[in-house]
Structure 1
Amino acid sequence: MTAFQPDLSSAFAGALCLGAWAHDPCTDRFALSPILSRLLGVPEEAAAGAPLAQALAAVEAEDACRLESVLRAAGEDGCPFEAEFRTRPGPHGPRWLRLMGRCGRDPVTGRLTTQGLAFDLTEGRHPGGPEASQAQRQANRLADHAAAMKGLVAGLRNPPLARLVDEIAVEVGHELARHLRSGVRQVH
């Protein structure tokens, strides 16, 4: 792959893409790529349509609740989404995963299906490299999340919440500036 001739499979591998997934909101079935089914402890023979509850059993309890809610909301509004969650410790260790996708109607059957891609974020969540670089990565992620919260809170029309998010954004900005002033090169 070169910058002028990108290769999709190399890009997916480099992004730690675990493959595709699909959720049928009507039957509450979850289809998983082979790698994702292994990480979630879903037997290979069930990966083509496991009950959502079976896939969520391998997810940390508080994250499973949120993930189920995100999938249900996507089935109702069709908006694109992304959700991060942790798996419970198991044979593959605890993992940080991200599902990205959206819900739409199948052009042939007319059925609603939520589908997308799964990514493994674990490598970026565990300390790796010098402590200062890890702290810089964390500050950068905080800044990304603060910016996302500011964009999301605007549509809620909740001034007290907007003020709190603004305060968080200012504090995150101070933290980011502290790391940049310390002379540590910026790492994204």
Structure 2
Amino acid sequence: MAVSPLLPDAELVAALDGSACLGAWTHDVSADLFSVTAPLGCALDLAPGESAGVPLARVLSLIHAEDRPRIAGLFAASQEEGSPFEVEFRIGEGRGGARWLRLMGRTDIDAGRRTARARGLAFDLTEGRLGRGSPARQAQWQANQLADHVIAMKGLVPPLDNPSLARLVDRLAVEIGFELARRVTQAATGDAFH
């Protein structure tokens, strides 16, 4: 019996359960229905029946007030451009307390230049952001985040045609590389992180 391509197999489910991935989300733009998997619905503090689809405004209302305008703007821009995006934000004090999430996705635009659907994955960043785990693990997470951000900056600087800014970002990338190397060396030798 063939496995449906729409249903994840047992290995994929096990991998997702062991990761920070909360599952998929979809926003049907024309119907304004934002649908999420059950774990993501729980993380967002949606009522049980709301995971099947709520207006985007309902999801935005659950996002921390300081992050909400940025996320609303990102969705609006993505609907205009049909581009991929990645964004991190906080959600309020729901059943599980304050949480940090990352949405990754893309908006598809049909041939008539109308936004059809946005979809992607969501990840829970709470453990790293709130400092859970050992100090060494937290420091390693922070160094990894710095590396991710400097890599993103390196990709964003060339279109600006600003050599001064490019040199600063390159210098920052080197310093972060040294920090990561120091942490890898310390982890390999068993030294405590300072």
Q: Is the TM value for this pair above 0.5?
A: yes
* Gap change, CA 1:56 and 1:8, over 3 Å in 2: same
Counterpart for residue 42 of structure 1: 46
Structure 1: segments with no counterpart, 5+ residues:
none
What are the within-5 Å matches in structure 2 for residues 148-167 of structure 1? 148-167=152-171
* Gap change, CA 1:158 and 1:48, over 3 Å in 2: farther
Counterpart for residue 83 of structure 1: 87
* Gap change, CA 1:24 and 1:155, over 3 Å in 2: farther
Counterpart for residue 135 of structure 1: 139
Counterpart for residue 64 of structure 1: 68
Residues 1:120 and 2:124 are matched in the alignment: yes
Structure 2: segments with no counterpart, 5+ residues:
1-8, 190-194
* Gap change, CA 1:129 and 1:16, over 3 Å in 2: closer
Task: Return the alpha-carbon distance in structure 2 between the equivalents of residues 165 and 45 of structure 1.
Answer: 46
* Gap change, CA 1:10 and 1:27, over 3 Å in 2: same
* Gap change, CA 1:38 and 1:133, over 3 Å in 2: closer
What amino acid sits opposite 1:39 in the alignment? A
* Gap change, CA 1:38 and 1:115, over 3 Å in 2: same
By how many angstroms is 1:6 displaced?
A: 8.7
* Gap change, CA 1:64 and 1:6, over 3 Å in 2: same
Counterpart for residue 184 of structure 1: 187
The answer as to whether partners of 1:133 and 1:184 remain within 8 angstroms in 2 is: no
The answer as to whether partners of 1:143 and 1:173 remain within 8 angstroms in 2 is: yes
User: Which region of structure 1 is more displaced relative to structure 2, 17-26 or 156-165?
Assistant: 156-165
Task: Return the alpha-carbon distance in structure 2 between the equivalents of residues 47 and 133 of structure 1.
Answer: 33
The answer as to whether partners of 2:101 and 2:122 remain within 8 angstroms in 1 is: yes
What amino acid sits opposite 2:38 in the alignment? P
Residues 1:144 and 2:152 are matched in the alignment: no
Residues 1:14 and 2:53 are matched in the alignment: no
TM-score (norm 2): 0.75
TM-score (norm 1): 0.77
* Gap change, CA 1:160 and 1:6, over 3 Å in 2: farther
Percent identity between the aligned chains? 50
Residues 1:100 and 2:142 are matched in the alignment: no
* Gap change, CA 1:27 and 1:153, over 3 Å in 2: farther
Task: Return the alpha-carbon distance in structure 2 between the equivalents of residues 78 and 119 of structure 1.
Answer: 22
The answer as to whether partners of 2:29 and 2:115 remain within 8 angstroms in 1 is: no
What number of residue pairs does the alignment pair up?
179
Could you list the per-position Cα deviations for residues 104-156 of structure 1 after superposition, in whole angstroms to 9, with x for gaps in the alignment? Answer: 2579xx86100111121222333344323321221122112111211122233
